[in-house]
Chains A and B, each alone.
Chain A
Amino acid sequence: MNTPSQDVWVYVEHPNGVVAPHTYELLGKGRDLAQALGGRLVAVLLGHDVASLAQTLGTADLVLSVDHQRLASFTPDAHARTVRALGESAMPRLLLCGATSAGIDLASLLSALVPVPMVVNVRAIEVEGGRVITTSQLCGGKLLCEMELTGCTVLTVLAGAFPAEAGFATRGAPVESMAAPAALDQAPVHVLRLIEPAGEDVDITRVSILIAVGRGIQRKENLQLAEELAGLLAGAVCASRPVIDQGWLPLSRQVGKSGMVVKPALYLALGISGAPEHLEGMRNAELIVAVNTDAGAPIFNVAHYGVVGDMFEVIPALMAQLRERKAA
């Protein structure tokens, strides 16, 4: 690997042909970091027919763009090997990726291919006298870790760590079109098709009251309790990943990194610990109420109101109260 520059690169994600809000968060923070390090902020835009997306990347000093049919939909193989090729002339000091489905794949593969260090689930980045210090979240948010980075390092950054407004621009940046690596023509990893979530179910992104259940619901039959509460409040039931993985609710009800991002008027979280992947999907709800038996559950750090208790005692009592008030 060659000596890194002091540049900061941001990997641009653009699902459905639109720059992801998370990318603007990285660009905003990247602007500060590039200034502190004395380097440039570079947006790395890979895809096919995506030149127009550069029009909102003006926070960057430069857009490095690679256009190739094999880059149209994300595969770790094609995207990581293309970023590695871009870095052959000068690796950046930092490459910022989202802690997303694409970002974690790209960053892990790239960091071993080059190889360079990697730090995951970053929620803060500072420059202290030329040294870069990151803070990562681990163990479901129960621990934080401060890391000191020396050379070129790949980071995956948690959604919501930095404001997106600071990175959004209504102007473009100079675009440098780079050739795709020759090997991309023969790349053996292909996206065959995209599978959209089943459309016949409730669209939880449009429901104003969500009753969310997590591992604490214990068994499928207990979902009835959440359904009853949702019925009383004219809401819908959604869930965190473990409930979906059990097959108790369809994928279309999943809230979090791989599921839906929701912003309801009320998000009532029952038995959800609050892993970062879940918080990513609901932290902007207008009112968050959490019921959990663990007083140390990270969900209480984002909730407005919290109840430490057994949902199987609290929710029937709440339903009785709601019925009384509605009858009155």
Chain B
Amino acid sequence: MKIAVLLTMVPDLVEELEIDPSGTALDTQWLRYVLSESDDHALEQALLLKDRHSASVTALALDYGDAEQALFTALAKGADAAIKIAPVPPGGPNRRGAAALFAEVLRRQPADLILTGVQATNDLDGHLPGLLGGLLDLRYVGVTRSVEASADGGLVVQKEYPGGVAAEISLPTPAVIGVISAPQPPRYVPVARIREVTKTRMVGVEAAIAVDPQPAAVIRRLYKPEPAGHATMLTGPPEQMAQELAAILEGRGLLR
């Protein structure tokens, strides 16, 4: 089974986010990017399938932020190949643009299974895996927490429903799966191993060619919200805040 894992870089939400002078986009000059969390799970899911079913795993990323570092990390974790798609704008294209670029590479290099995170924190004009399923006209299931290869060459996935319920779904390959979490936490790889991989392995390059321009809504304004409501903040040293909080809980009859 050939597996493609699509990795997306997203703004690091620990950092302060600044809007650029146009008022419609993030200022990318000082922006720090990290791998989208659900993509990390998608990679873990791919590597689990590789371990169990002798699959080959290729990681792909659009070339912005620290994408190359994410690709080398994927190689260090066990991916068989890594490809960056370039050139792309400094902050990457919007999600529909990203889907079009990935789709074109995946038409040239088809995979039996395309795994990626079901959503990213900066999604605005769509979610990548569903868009890809539509663009490539492949079977698609998203919000999965487990993907297994079945005896007939297809897949059995667990899709999350509300209320903690999951549906076990079978589908044929080729398919696109949007991963929310892998059956186990993403594996850790030491920095030394990643450094070693950067010296011994190569990241391939594919041309960024979008042949499916996708219709998108127009951004009028990007801004930081004014909180509609805000908590009453307790201040002071921890002991003082704890005392106030205990009094509030007692006052509400919550001490039993």
Contacts and interface: CB of A to CB of B under 8 A. Distances in A.
B225 A195 contact: no
A147 B124 CA distance: 9
B215 interface: yes
B218 A148 contact: yes
B167 A317 contact: no
A302 B122 contact: no
Contacts of A252: 164
B232 A305 contact: yes
A108 B126 contact: yes
Interface residues of A, number: 102
Contacts of A197: 163-165
B54 interface: no
Nearest to A208: B254
Contacts, number: 291
B109 to A, nearest CB: 20
A134 B217 contact: yes
A273 B170 CA distance: 35
Interface stretch (B56-64, B199-207, B245-253): B245-253
A24 interface: no
B126 A118 contact: yes
B20 interface: no
A274 B178 CA distance: 23
Interface stretch (B1-9, B66-74, B83-91, B154-162): B154-162
B242 A314 contact: yes
Interface string A140-184: 111111111111010000000000000000000000000000000
Interface string B204-225: 0000000000111111111111
Interface string B114-155: 000011011111111111111101011111000000000000
B217 A117 contact: yes
A317 B236 CA distance: 13
A195 B165 contact: yes
B224 A144 contact: yes
Given A192-B169, A195-B167, A234-B256, A117 B140 contact: no
B152 to A, nearest CB: 11
B121 A192 contact: no
A73 B130 CA distance: 18
Contacts of B17: 139, 142-143
Nearest to A280: B162
B189 interface: no
Among B132, B216, B252, the most chain A Cβ lie within 10 Å of the Cβ of B216
A219 to B, nearest CB: 12
Interface in A34-83: 73-77, 80
B133 A112 contact: yes
Contacts of A105: 130, 140-143, 178
B127 A108 contact: yes
B65 interface: no
3 tightest Cβ-Cβ pairs between the two chains A and B: A108-B130, A112-B134, A306-B231
Given A104-B143, A117-B215, 8 more contacts: A16-B163, A101-B160, A108-B134, A143-B223, A147-B217, A191-B168, A195-B167, A304-B232
